[in-house]
Amino acid sequence: MSGAPGRIRVLVVDDSVVIRRLVTEALAEDPQIEVVGIASNGKIALEKIAQLKPDAVTMDIEMPVMNGIEAVRQLRRRSPRLPVVMFSTLTERGASATLDALAAGASDYVTKPSNVGSFSESQQNIREQLIPKLKALTGTRRAAGPSRVPAPASPRRPRTGPFGILAIGCSTGGPDALARVLPALPGDLAVPVVVVQHMPPLFTRLLAQRLDAHCRLHVREAAQGEEIVPGRVLIAPGGLHLTLRRQKATIVTQLTEDPPENFCRPAVDVLFRSVSALYGDRVLAAVLTGMGKDGERGAVQIRSAGGEVFVQDEATSVVWGMPGAVAMSGQADRVLALDRIGPDLATALSRGPRTVGVAS
């Protein structure tokens, strides 16, 4: 099948006729997208991908014959970069399966519409979630020409002491990036680590558990009023902003339902502002792969206070939205390939005495 020039050609894979119809009709309303085929299981999907050569695939997880996770695993041997967006349910089983799919090589995921609400409401939900992700993922893959050149880092005042905290923000492709960055940090890390990964509730708890099993540091989902301590990684819970506040001689977490920022809750900008206000020039931040610009304004505040910001480079990012926004605005002290970020963060954090201080 041949499609209109310039349109994003999508293969829709799901064993449910209703979901296939929901997705195909929702996508058909966008003039930049063309559904070039459908498949009811992973085996058929692999055959149609070889035949139709789509620009992107939407993939159900639980299907007969071959499920979505195995299909992604096999697809990645043939097409390492083809964008694949999984359809997930907002259940513990669905969240766990989604993380398995991301580990197998899926690019991103959206949540399936529930059985509550009308057909049109379900389609609107799909349009709002899926279409921006398809455009971001295929835009990165289809872009012509060389990689964009980051702006030179803007001047900032020198730091006065060792780093006191590491703050990380990420979104699309973030679970895999975190799984490669965090294990590179030593078990005796002298500072606490706080993370915002754009994910819904439940997903963040399971992500923390998986990361904890593979890191020398203790990784957990942040709880309200929890003291931050060196060597512990706290991940913002889905649906809540993560900030830090002073409580006598300690620093504790504060989780809020304040309005979303950059259409996100948790938001990276919220976390970055909070750590900058408390730690001043002793903040080291990293912005990893992700859609949008969340983290750019927070990076400005961190560097204005004298902190430093590392970002993931375009070549190794699933989507160079968030790190690209920081780099192109001149707020990146270092632009690094994913494999270099963990070791370089560890080196930067190892300098100076093992103390956790707060800016006065």
Candidate list 60, 198, 269, 276, residue with the active-site label: 198
CB 165 within 8 A of CB 275: yes
Task: Report how far residue 165's alpha carbon sits from residue 155's, in angstroms, rounded to the nearest whole number.
Answer: 21
- Tokens for 201, please give them: 């509730």
The CA dihedral of 18, 24, 26, 29, to the nearest 10 degrees, is -150
Catalytic residue check, 198: yes
Specify the residue for token string 């803007």: 154
- Tokens for 148, please give them: 């964009």
Helix, strand and coil content of the chain, in percent to the nearest 5, comes to 40, 20, 40
Candidate list 171, 274, 276, 317, residue with the active-site label: 171
Distances (CA, A) of 311 to 169, 218, 294: 10, 23, 13
CB 197 within 8 A of CB 167: no
Can you list the alpha helix ranges (DSSP code H) found in 215-350? 268-279, 296-304, 322-328, 338-349
Task: Report how far residue 238's alpha carbon sits from residue 85's, in angstroms, rounded to the nearest whole number.
Answer: 19
The CA dihedral of 234, 238, 243, 249, to the nearest 10 degrees, is -40
Catalytic residue check, 294: yes
Specify the residue for token string 């789509």: 54
Q: Which residues pair with 284 in a beta bridge?
A: 166, 308
3-state class (DSSP) for residue 28: helix
> In what order do the strands lie in the sheet containing 308-312?
218-221, 232-235, 193-197, 165-170, 283-287, 308-312, 334-336
- Tokens for 68, please give them: 């979505």
How far the first Cα of the chain sits from its last, in Å, is 65
Catalytic residue check, 30: no
Q: Which residues pair with 247 in a beta bridge?
A: 250
Candidate list 294, 313, 317, 333, residue with the active-site label: 294
- Tokens for 223, please give them: 């709880």
Annotated catalytic sites, by residue?
A: 171, 198, 294
